[in-house]
Amino acid sequence: MRNWRPSLLLLAACLFLSSATAQAQDKFPSRPIRLMLPFAAGSVSDITLRILADKLSARLGVSVIVDNQPRAGGITAVTTTLSSPPDGYTVVVFSSSTAISVSLLKSLSYDPLHDFKAVSGISTFANIIAANSNSNYRSLGDLIAAARAKPGKLNIGTTTVGSTNHLAATLFRSMASLDFVVVPFRTPGELVTAALRNDVDAIIQSFGALKTAVDAGQLRALASTTASRAAYAPNVPTVDEAGVKGFEVVTWNGFFVSSRTPAAVVEILNRETRAALADPGLRQRFLELGLEPLPSTEDELWTRLATEIDKWAKVIETAGIEKQ
């Protein structure tokens, strides 16, 4: 029996620690949760995240706080998450920009695929190719025909180099075998103004950012970059429908936590996020803003990130875009 005593004591200790860990995780969450958003207040991502945060607060019984951290291109939000305890109380929002940054930036202090665990997607939204309503471009086919008739003469506006819509324009030019100039502007506002002044032939930007001008009849939506027509823009054909087969660029965002976060905590966050995104009222509000909810499993979101890292790496290399 003496020989068994150490083993029994060790077993008892393990059982106690396992029980204590389970009890601690069962209590999650017991205090406010911070959602680290690498975008400024007032952005489409900020507005939608606050809608979701309210639903999560109601479901979890604790405050869910949106913490805007746009500094350093959003890297501050990521590093703050990594430096916080890996307990699920600090959650960061990754997006298409995260996948792009892996190849666009000269160096990153973190590896999104190894330093983080995926929780659940939040939303997806399309980029729209649009032109001034007074222009001769009544369809994407018209724009493509003009670009082929005048190689190198057309200008397509986007926002900053390396943004999703900038790379969407670059990919469109490549897949459609066209020759046009991609002109990056600093902000969506400047981009829309350029289109209204006819400073550019067309622009590519998120539907949410263009919706007001489209609804007012100032801009004409020529095509959506989604694989199939978006629920919030059912009358807008896709780039694929216009003949550029297989073209798809969907901007997305989702929740991630430190890779050291307990699996049981990640499971709770995933379950509650997916349940909140299934709320009919939330879905309707998202559609009004030009987005669709993206509830997903942990594996689905992780695969989306990994796939897009590879996709944009090839686009950036092929286009010869200089690392920032």
Tens of pLDDT, residues 166-213? 999 999 999 999 999 999 998 889 999 999 999 999 999 998 889 899
Q: What is the pLDDT of residue 45?
A: 86
Q: What is the pLDDT of residue 49?
A: 96
List the domains of the chain with CATH numbers. Answer: 32-125+250-319 (3.40.190.150), 126-224 (3.40.190.10)
Amino acid at 287: L
Q: What is the pLDDT of residue 65?
A: 97
Q: What percent of the chain has pLDDT over 90?
A: 76
Q: Is 311 helix (H, G, I), strand (E, B) or coil?
A: helix
Amino acid at 50: R
Q: What global pTM score does this model have?
A: 0.85
What are the beta bridge partners of residue 251?
A: 125
Please list the ranges in the chain whose pLDDT falls under 70: 1-26
The two three-digit tokens of residue 119, written as one number = 């929780």
- DSSP 8-state assignment for residue 178: -
Between the CA of residue 149 and those of 122, 134, 144, 199, 315, what are the distances in Å? 41, 20, 9, 19, 25
CB 77 within 8 A of CB 38: yes
Q: What is the pLDDT of residue 4?
A: 47
Tens digits of residue pLDDT in 278-322: 999 999 999 998 899 999 999 999 999 999 999 999 999 998 888
Q: What is the pLDDT of residue 26?
A: 58
Residue entry with tokens 């709320």: 279
Closest C-alpha among 191, 175, 307 to residue 245: 175
Q: Is 157 helix (H, G, I), strand (E, B) or coil?
A: strand
Q: Torsion angle, CA of 9/10/16/17, rounded to 10 degrees?
A: 150
**Residue 291 buriedness (CB in 10 A; 0-12 / 13-18 / 19+):** buried
Residue entry with tokens 């792009």: 100
Q: What is the pLDDT of residue 323?
A: 84
Q: What is the pLDDT of residue 40?
A: 85
